[in-house]
Amino acid sequence: MSSTEEIIGRQHVNDLDEILAVTNTDVDATIHAVRDNADAIFTWDYTKGARPALEKLYEKAKTSQWNGQTDLDWSIEVDQEAVVAANAIANGRGEVDFSGTFMGKWDDAEWTRFGVESQNWMLSQFMHGEQGALICTAKIVETVPWIDAKYYAATQVMDEARHVEVFAKYLNEKLSGAYPVNAHLKMLLDDIVLDSRWDMTYLGMQIMVEGLALAAFGFMHQMTTEPLLKQMLRYVMSDEARHVAFGVLSLKEYYAELTTAELRERQEFAFEAAVRMRDRLMQQEVWERMGVPVKEAIQVVNERVPDQKIFQQMLFAKIVPNCRKLGLIDAGDGWLRERFTELGVIEFEHMADTGEEYEMFALAEGEVASA
């Protein structure tokens, strides 16, 4: 059993100074190498359908492939500043009282710049996370021992390549450039790749990273007024729901056979992933680029924006019920329940898990064209 400091590198989960001390030190690097310690597993059992739920996902994935180059309407012009203004009106930014803070002195130009930088940052982290999913799913193809899981994971590799492609294209052609990977996200991706156990790759990527992404894409799809981004997110969400369901369906069987000690390791890994993802949402790189005091900016937003904490918590609306479905929340002495309570997200445990609801995200014929 590990202490909180051993798991996340600090004693207190909400220590803002310690969170902000984690920074990306190689922002100009274009290559980042992580040693993959896992064995490549061959299976000579080619019996298809031994796990019917995975076979169903595989068949669904084969008929749900889309082409990011031709299925999205890239002819749509995107005026990023106009989109920022429209989003602010649609989502009530003007209703927040920032008087007495440096943000209360911002003029329209500074608010527009913040909106532009924030959008660039958010979509950049999605893009980096999707590359992490690309690498991790390729690793799952290598390391998972079941042929049905290898088949499905292979379709997800294609999905993730497509996601990286469309986010990069949107950032470079429609917006105003990308941000480097956030340091907290990078630490998590490194930890997922470094672990040699195939189920940890599933847990870290399919359940935690992809689970938060699915919720975040849903929020952004709802909040944006930009039609091309709506189209793109709707397509990506249809894939992501299958990906998370893949993790839930695969791990439920495996985790039922683990010991209490083995489950505790998985609980600790889930907690670490949750904290890393929560910390990255503070978008410290945006505040740095804006040239304002980072800690003060985060405190102002947390204190003055009523929905900020709710928004951050709701991003875990897919993760917590999926962890419950896997038996992780109350395994052993309920250690993960205590940690999720500390993070303020345990209230989501009884929401539908993605293993049950992924089909509701599937694209209907002609849906995206009318989005």
**Which amino acid appears at position 161 of this protein?**
A
Segment 174-208, tens digit of pLDDT: 999 899 999 999 999 999 999 999 999 999 999 99
Instruction: Calculate the alpha carbon distances from 183 to 12, 121, 178 in Å.
Output: 19, 13, 15
- Which burial class, exposed, middle or buried, applies to 308 when counting CB atoms under 10 A from its CB (0-12, 13-18, 19+)? middle
**Which amino acid appears at position 282 of this protein?**
M
Q: Which pLDDT score is estimated for 371?
A: 47
For residue 258, the SS3 value is coil
Q: Which pLDDT score is estimated for 32?
A: 94
Q: Which residue, among 238, 235, 282, 310, has the nearest Cα to 122 in the 3D structure?
A: 282
Q: Which pLDDT score is estimated for 367?
A: 61
CA 85 to chain centre: 26
How far is the C-alpha of 115 from the C-alpha of 304, rounded, in Å?
A: 17
Q: Which pLDDT score is estimated for 92?
A: 65
- Dihedral angle computed from the Cα positions of residues 25, 342, 334 and 244, in that order, rounded to the nearest 10 degrees: -60
Instruction: Calculate the alpha carbon distances from 68 to 99, 125, 247, 287, 299 in Å.
Output: 44, 19, 24, 32, 39
Q: What does CATH list as the number for 98-370?
A: 1.20.1260.10
Q: Where are the domains of the chain?
A: 98-370
Q: Which pLDDT score is estimated for 305?
A: 84
The number of beta carbons lying within 10 Å of the beta carbon of residue 63 is 7
How far is the C-alpha of 318 from the C-alpha of 69, rounded, in Å?
A: 29
CB 76 within 8 A of CB 175: no
Segment 208-240, tens digit of pLDDT: 999 999 999 998 999 999 999 999 999 999 999
Residues of the chain with pLDDT under 50: 369-371
SS3 content of the chain, % helix, strand, coil (to 5): 65, 0, 35
